[in-house]
Amino acid sequence: MVTIIPMNKKELSGEVISYSLHTTGYGQAVIASTSIGVCYVGFGEREKVLNDLKKRYGGATVQEKYLPLHQHVLNHLEKGDASDLTLHVAGTGFQLSVWNALLQIPVGEVSSYKAVAQAIGKPKAVRAVGSAIGNNPVSCIIPCHRVVRSDGRLGGYFWGTEIKRSMLEREAQTAGIRY
């Protein structure tokens, strides 16, 4: 079970974020965490990903340091098992409600932006839901890649649609579903 602990923006000035670089089936990844939990997972070129991490958590001290928790995240990436992960992320109340709804989408399945908006009781907030999904700081742990357009097309993905497609295919295979 994934637990989300909201990070107050005021906490950032005293927060230490440790990150490590890893090679995954989706390419280069940066995994970062606070003393409370995972706060970031991003894919791509080191500088681009680190700039995104620092932008999201401006005011925090960011240091390169491998933590055993990062290996647990890697296991999730490879096996889709996010059991016992605690996330420590900054987001608005609306974003947190969207991210919690995403955690309800089963491995190997997809949902739509419209369905997520309905799930949080805001059926007309489809675009806002899309923005909240795009601001997810822990890519694939909060499974934003499981949200597709109502017509079944992939739609966008912050880290690129090829990574999104790969994640969906791997999860479908793990779940015994053909995507």
DSSP readout, 2-51? EEEEEPPGGGGGG-EEEEEEEEETTEEEEEEE-SSSEEEEEES-HHHHHH
Distance (Å, whole) CA 113 – CA 133: 9
Distance (Å, whole) CA 177 – CA 27: 24
Does residue 144 carry a catalytic annotation? yes
Dihedral of the CA atoms 55, 46, 102, 128 (nearest 10)? 40
Long-range contacts of 90-96 (CB under 8 A, 24+ apart): 90/6, 90/7, 90/8, 90/9, 90/12, 90/39, 90/56, 90/57, 90/137, 91/6, 91/132, 91/135, 91/137, 92/132, 94/122, 94/125, 94/128, 94/132, 95/132, 95/135, 96/4, 96/6
- 30, 82, 138, 144: the active-site residue: 144
Active-site residue set = 144
